[in-house]
A and B are shown apart, each in its own frame.
Chain A
Amino acid sequence: MSKPAHIAAMFDRIGGVNALPVVLMIIALPLIGSFSSWVTLTVAGLAMGMMIFLMASGLSLVFGLMDVLNFGHSAFISFGAFIAASVLAWLAAWVGADSLTLNFLALFAALGAATLFGLAAGWFFERVIIKPVYSDHLRQILITIGALIVSEQIILAVWGGSPIPVPRPALLEGSFVIGDVAIEVYRVFAFFLGLAVFIALTLVLNRTRIGLLIRAGVEDREMVEALGFRIDRLFIAVFMTGSALAAMGGAMWAGYQGLISGALGGEMMILVFIVVIIGGLGSIEGSLLGALLVGLLGNYVAFIFPKLALASNMILMMAILLWRPWGLRPAVGK
């Protein structure tokens, strides 16, 4: 093992790139000046980061495992958002009820419907759209873009072109107030939901046999087949999970925004791509890291230099590509 690689490994062991979000938080504090604003922005950034993580993790794994880049991924995000909005509107009585149970049921129904749709749509997408063009990148990009166009048009046809409001369950309204710092309940919920998904994914990947197969497949799918496993069956499972998570992320994002339009998918897709590029394709930890960086930076910059909010993420991406062309934490062997 060469010396620079050894130093890099040491750097990783003491925290390395994982500490970047914390470094960013510390740098932001003096720039923002006010502590309460800093807390608000940090919480917003973490919550946003976790929602983007939900959307990005599937895309990253799908790419890592099969070398498939799905430009239609944002369709799952959009559908998740609109389905959740419709379910919440349909259950308006439960959403507004003064009962935690009914609130919770409405929320569960909305997230559940979006996620189930994601699973089903993911299955359809993989079998019908992507399977015929495995291993042909150009056609893959073209086909998934075609599918994206069609999906966006279906959303416009079903939900119309004007923005629709998303009712939020009463239990997620309001803020926790600690001193002069107010923290929105919804953001806390989004953060912990994302964290729970991250922990669940990590456990599945590191503690189960299917996780072992996925990690091995990301490195060398041919060898996994030569050991006697069907990688295509593994892949469809991963694809469906990724689509379902994207839909869940879209549903969460809908509630966060309160008002959604057909442009949502496209806007989120840019952030998701930046996250996946920053984090390194094929790794869950990389997606989380990238998502948190993008969420935090976006919120800080929007406060300090409002006009540069999206450009800041672009600059971050360029800088990281210069530093590490494969992203911060790519899957080993890629």
Chain B
Amino acid sequence: MTDTALASAPSADPARKGRMIVYVVALLIGLALAFAPFLFQDVRSNQVAARICVFIVLAASYDLLIGYTGIVSFAHTMFFGLGAYGAAIALKSMGPGWDAVLAGGVAGVVLAAILAVLIGVLSLRVKAIFFAMVTLAAASVMMVLASQFSDFTGGEDGIVYSAPALFKPAMKLMTDDAGKVVKLFGVSMNGKIAAYYFVFLTCLVLFLALMRIVRSPLGTVLEAIRENEMRAEAIGYRVVAYRTSVFVIAAVIAALAGTVWAVWLKYTGPDTTFSFAIMIDILLMVVIGGMGTMVGAVIGVVLMSLAQFYLKDLMEAAAQATANIPLLPDLLDPDRWLLWLGLLFILLVYFFPAGIAGTLMKKGGH
């Protein structure tokens, strides 16, 4: 019975296998992040792991927009930045404490939500493509404001502050009888560990919340709208209202990710939050990973983060090897890694618009 069913549908098999691969990879990434402080015991790796956690949330919330709703926004880093600056300004002015994180985070999130409603209502009713332009304009204005109102934001230099006491490296989470920090598998149970798990757990919760949203009835409606806007409208879905609410949800989650990022980094500046380069990173992560899959975001973020380190090394070597040829070393300069990534991106959008996860999961499908 089972055999014949499988034999009669040979196309389902690679698709199922592809889905398995994707989920296993995502699970492995999740496990690696969960035990990152124990697996990779140096400061830099810890930093990379925390960045990956935050960017997974950021990219997944962006996927909610671009992949599930089919709207392209360039304001995602603006919301991310609002959450980060909210926490940063509060931590700077109120001193390191959870009250500051809460107050700043809430302020940032509320502001992000208000702006999202405003932008959504103003431009989502006209045309999706308008929306892309409006968000781009809004994001760049926010960036300029952040650098000009330097009394608040520290301008181009950004803000340096302290995190709550729990996260200070001197904090002892577990002590032995002698009052010294306990080491588990060679890792000191100090504030750094607490900070990492604060990042990991909040990001995990946010990511699971996003997974829940796309599996909910709302997710189904969104896909209906993306597939056929006019028909969805005819069936009676209020397309603009749905789109705006998704835009707000994505903005709020991005702002929360920003708050977490600010607490971890203990520094907030235009380059770590608002910059257009980060926006492009997120876009590349989601498209490379696979739009409309959520797990694709996980894979995209990890790949991009690794590429940022290893591709550069590779190019460094290639640039030195071709040092005598004109122009080529310039193009192979590690700073030009985006050039190659951009080309890769174009080819990907042409030939594999579903991205890595999407292509694997749909392989052999209809």
Contacts and interface: CB of A to CB of B under 8 A. Distances in A.
Interface of A: 63, 67, 69, 71, 129, 132-133, 137-139, 141-143, 145-147, 149-150, 153-154, 156-158, 161, 266, 269-270, 273-274, 276-277, 281, 307, 310-311, 313-314, 317-318, 321-322, 325-326
Contact of B133 (A143, A153, A276): A276
B333 interface: yes
B314 interface: no
B230 interface: no
A321 B350 contact: no
A69 B132 contact: yes
B349 A142 contact: yes
A106 to B, nearest CB: 26
B69 to A, nearest CB: 11
A11 B134 CA distance: 27
Instruction: Give the 8 A-B CB pairs with smallest separation, nearest first.
Output: A153-B339, A149-B342, A146-B346, A150-B342, A314-B141, A146-B345, A273-B133, A157-B330
Nearest to A314: B141
A100 to B, nearest CB: 37
Interface stretch (B37-45, B118-126, B166-174): B118-126
Contacts of A63: 129
A69 B349 contact: no
B136 A321 contact: no
Contacts of A270: 136-137, 140-141
8 contacts: A69-B129, A143-B350, A146-B343, A153-B336, A266-B276, A274-B137, A277-B134, A321-B123
Contacts of B140: 270, 310
A147 B347 CA distance: 11
Contact of B349 (A143, A156, A269, A307): A143
B138 A314 contact: yes
Contact of B122 (A139, A147, A149, A318): A318
B35 interface: no
Interface stretch (B142-150, B180-188, B197-205, B301-309): B142-150
Contacts of B191: none
Given A69-B132, A322-B122, A311 B346 contact: no
Contacts of B122: 318, 321-322
A310 B335 CA distance: 30
B325 to A, nearest CB: 13
Contact of A311 (B141, B343, B349, B353): B141
Contact of A149 (B70, B123, B125, B280): B280
Contacts of B72: 138, 141-142
B125 A325 contact: yes
A79 to B, nearest CB: 15
A316 to B, nearest CB: 11
A311 B142 CA distance: 8
B66 interface: yes
B331 interface: yes
Contact of B336 (A71, A146, A157, A281): A157
A139 B141 contact: no
Contact of B126 (A137, A274, A325): A325
Interface of B: 66, 70, 72, 118, 122-123, 125-126, 128-130, 132-134, 136-138, 140-141, 144-145, 148-149, 276, 280, 283, 287, 327, 330-331, 333, 335-336, 338-339, 341-343, 345-346, 349-350, 353
A163 B118 CA distance: 37
A282 B255 CA distance: 35
A322 B126 CA distance: 11
A63 B132 CA distance: 14
Contacts of A150: 339, 342-343, 346
Given A154-B339, A273-B137, A314-B141, A137 B346 contact: no
Nearest to A147: B346
B83 to A, nearest CB: 21
A157 B331 contact: yes
Contact of B342 (A153, A273, A311, A322): A153
Contacts of A138: 66, 70, 72
B335 A156 contact: yes
Contacts of A326: 126
Given A273-B133, A326-B126, A153 B141 contact: no
B125 A153 contact: no
B148 A307 contact: yes
Contacts of A71: 132
A154 B338 CA distance: 10
B339 A139 contact: no
A321 B280 CA distance: 26
B70, B125, B335, B339: which has the most chain A beta carbons within 10 Å? B339
B346 A277 contact: no
A137 B128 contact: yes
Contacts of B280: 145, 149
A154 B328 CA distance: 11
Contacts of B331: 157
A286 B75 CA distance: 26
A229 to B, nearest CB: 25
Contacts of A313: 137, 141
Contact of B353 (A69, A129, A139, A145): A139
A132 B136 CA distance: 25
A277 B134 CA distance: 8
Nearest to A315: B141
B278 to A, nearest CB: 13
- Identify which of B134, B136, B342 gathers the most chain A CB atoms within 10 Å of its CB: B342
A89 B150 CA distance: 37
A274 B133 CA distance: 8
B138 A149 contact: no
Contacts of A141: 72, 129, 132
Given A142-B349, A156-B335, A266-B276, A317 B132 contact: no
